[in-house]
């Protein structure tokens, strides 16, 4: 069984680099479609890692349940996935990964599907909060297709049911500290089991390219 811990600083930087690349690509698409746009930087992100070697070449399906009460139109949750090779910064092309969602009982179920790259040693699945609001995460799962059937692979603490002191036990999490962020495990809302992760963000101001100065 794979064991997880909070990432050391060097790996946090690697994950952050991958996440920033995905964000920059998304923002570039948006800027080409409109003259003025605003966004929030990530206030927090956490990552579920799946060892990929034994699943290479197989179809996979990842999902996470989210209940988002955003405070404004700019605030949102972002879900993404990337394959990683042998090196810490060896990010693989994820163009064959497809993102989708469905709604069940006031929860949005985000999915990422695709084929595990032959060069992948692990898969990283990101959940990030941008902006202000109350956000709940629950029911993370990972399945692979075997002989036409979907086989679910156990993810440690996938529904935040563990009673560990570290509420992110089983995840990698950004180390950024912010007075505008609170995280806790709660019974207020749950998609699977009794608990979910509650992320509360407040007092953040969106930015735009006009607010940036070239050095």
What pTM, to 2 d.p., does this model score? Answer: 0.79
The Cα–Cα gap between 212 and 215 comes to: 9
Q: 107 by DSSP, 3-state: which?
A: strand
The whole-angstrom separation of Cα 131 and Cα 44 is 10
What is the residue-wise DSSP string for 154-210?
P-TTTTS----SSTTTTSEE-----TTEEEEEESS--SSSS-EEEEEE-S---B-GG
Q: Could you tell me which residue, 15 or 106, shows the higher pLDDT?
A: 106
pLDDT per residue as tens digits for the range 78-98: 999 999 998 878 899 887 899
Give the tens place of pLDDT for each residue, 101-146: 999 999 999 999 999 999 999 999 999 998 899 999 999 999 999 9
């Amino acid at each position: 069984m794979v064991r997880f811990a909070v990432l050391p600083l060097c790996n946090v930087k690697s994950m952050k680099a991958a996440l920033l690349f995905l964000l920059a690509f998304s923002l570039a698409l948006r800027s080409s479609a409109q003259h003025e746009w605003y966004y929030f930087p990530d206030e927090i992100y956490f990552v579920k890692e799946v060892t990929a070697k034994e699943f290479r070449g197989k179809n996979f399906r990842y999902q996470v349940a989210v209940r988002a009460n955003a405070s404004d139109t700019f605030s949102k949750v972002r879900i993404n996935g990337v394959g990683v090779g042998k090196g810490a910064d060896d990010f693989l092309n994820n163009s064959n990964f497809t993102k989708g969602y469905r709604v069940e009982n006031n929860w949005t179920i985000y999915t990422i599907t695709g084929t595990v790259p032959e060069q992948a040693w692990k898969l990283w699945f990101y959940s990030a909060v941008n902006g202000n609001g109350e956000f709940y995460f629950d029911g993370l799962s990972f399945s692979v297709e075997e002989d036409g059937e979907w086989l679910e692979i156990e993810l440690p603490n996938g529904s935040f049911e563990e009673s560990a002191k570290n509420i992110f036990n089983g995840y990698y999490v950004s180390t950024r500290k912010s007075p505008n962020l609170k995280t806790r495990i709660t019974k207020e809302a749950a998609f699977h089991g009794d608990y979910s992760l509650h992320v509360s963000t407040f007092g953040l101001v969106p930015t735009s390219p006009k607010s940036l100065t070239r050095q």
